[in-house]
Amino acid sequence: MFKPKTILIVDDEPRTRQGLKNMLEAWGGGRFEVKTADNGRDAITILENEPVHLLITDIRMPEITGLNLVKQLESASLTYKPAVILISGYAEFDYAHQGIQLGVVEYLLKPIRKDKLIEAVEQALEAGEHRNRISRIQRIVDSKLIQATDDMEPVSEPVREALQYVEAHLNEGFGLREVADHVHLNPSYFSVLFKEQMQMTFIEYLTRVRIQKAKELLLQTRLSVAEIAEHVGYQTTKYFNKVFKEYEGHSPGLYRSEVRNQNPEV
């Protein structure tokens, strides 16, 4: 089912608020749900309870200014971090500079022309999608694994064979000793060799590969957490949950729901 993106307009001036809402609804043709708030506190409540793709906020507002609102977004627990457009009735260049430092996409002066507003909104939505796409990739991909396997040229044949064994037997319960036997090396020597060439212990590597595969299955399949635990070589779901949380900061179930909320196409 199609779900429109949400644009939130925050301005304590009713005429400006409604005028921007009317312009965006007429332009969007149902592609966007345009919400409004007349103060920063209400805006934060909306942002914390549902995904907002674009925030358009006045700079000068009582209690919480537009800049303070943007600053609070950095520490807020949001399912989706919105792109931001600042608006103002004054040429407040110092505020504009602060906004740029905070990642604000555009700064518009009132009265706002429709063509300028639409151009800024299109750019902001594109920038926001790009930023959130990068954020999602960072949450899915294990950068330490990528770094470890980026240059395989200096890696010895026994370690290469060990990596291939891990890939082929990931759904099985095995440890360092089984892999050392497979590559015909003493476990102690194999352990030292692996850490020297891969910049991490064998157990850490194996765990990271298991967790990486688990994340892929969580996002690309409808398998239960228990089934995924079995697929990546954990004998109990409880232990899988414990390890996953140690590496990702969330349980597998929460990880799945959070990333899917950020990217409904997943």
Residues 77 and 91 in one domain: yes
The Cα–Cα gap between 184 and 116 comes to 69
Tell me the per-residue pLDDT of 178-229, one tens digit each, with 9 for 90 and over: 999 999 999 999 999 999 999 999 999 999 999 999 999 998 899 999 999 9
Q: If 0-12 CB within 10 Å is exposed, 13-18 middle and 19+ buried, where does residue 21 land? A: middle
CATH code, domain carrying 28: 3.40.50.2300
Among 129, 145, 127, which Cα is nearest to 216's?
Answer: 145
Which of 138, 170, 185 delimits the end of a domain? 138
Which of 138, 169, 184 delimits the end of a domain? 138
Residues 132 and 56 in one domain: yes
5 touches 53 (CB < 8 A)? yes
Tell me the per-residue pLDDT of 31-65, one tens digit each, with 9 for 90 and over: 999 999 999 999 999 998 888 999 999 988 888 88
> Could you identify the residue written with the tokens 């891990």?
166
CATH code, domain carrying 251: 1.10.10.60
Residues 128 and 16 in one domain: yes
Residues 126 and 93 in one domain: yes
pLDDT band for 91, please (50, 70, 90 cuts). low
Residues 41 and 133 in one domain: yes
Residues 130 and 220 in one domain: no
Residues 134 and 159 in one domain: no
Angle among Cα 172, 173, 177 to the nearest 5 degrees reads 115
Mean pLDDT score, 120-138:
81
DSSP string, the chain: ----EEEEEE-S-HHHHHHHHHHHHHHHTTSEEEEEESSHHHHHHHHHHS--SEEEEES--SSS-HHHHHHHHHHS--SSPPEEEEEESS--HHHHHHHHHTT--EEEESSPPHHHHHHHHHHHHHHHHHHHHHHHHHHHS-HHHHHHHS--TT--HHHHHHHHHHHHTTTS---HHHHHHHTT--HHHHHHHHHHHHSS-HHHHHHHHHHHHHHHHHHH----HHHHHHHTT-S-HHHHHHHHHHHHSS-HHHHHHHHHHH-TT-
Q: What does residue 231 show for φ and ψ, rounded to 5 degrees?
A: -60, -30
pLDDT band for 68, please (50, 70, 90 cuts). confident
Which of 138, 170, 197 delimits the end of a domain? 138
Residues 77 and 19 in one domain: yes
Residues 31 and 128 in one domain: yes
Residues 257 and 154 in one domain: yes
Considering its fold, how many domains does the chain have in total?
Answer: 2
Tell me the per-residue pLDDT of 237-253, one tens digit each, with 9 for 90 and over: 999 999 999 999 889 99
Residue 247: which domain range?
143-262
Residues 23 and 49 in one domain: yes
Residues 9 and 117 in one domain: yes
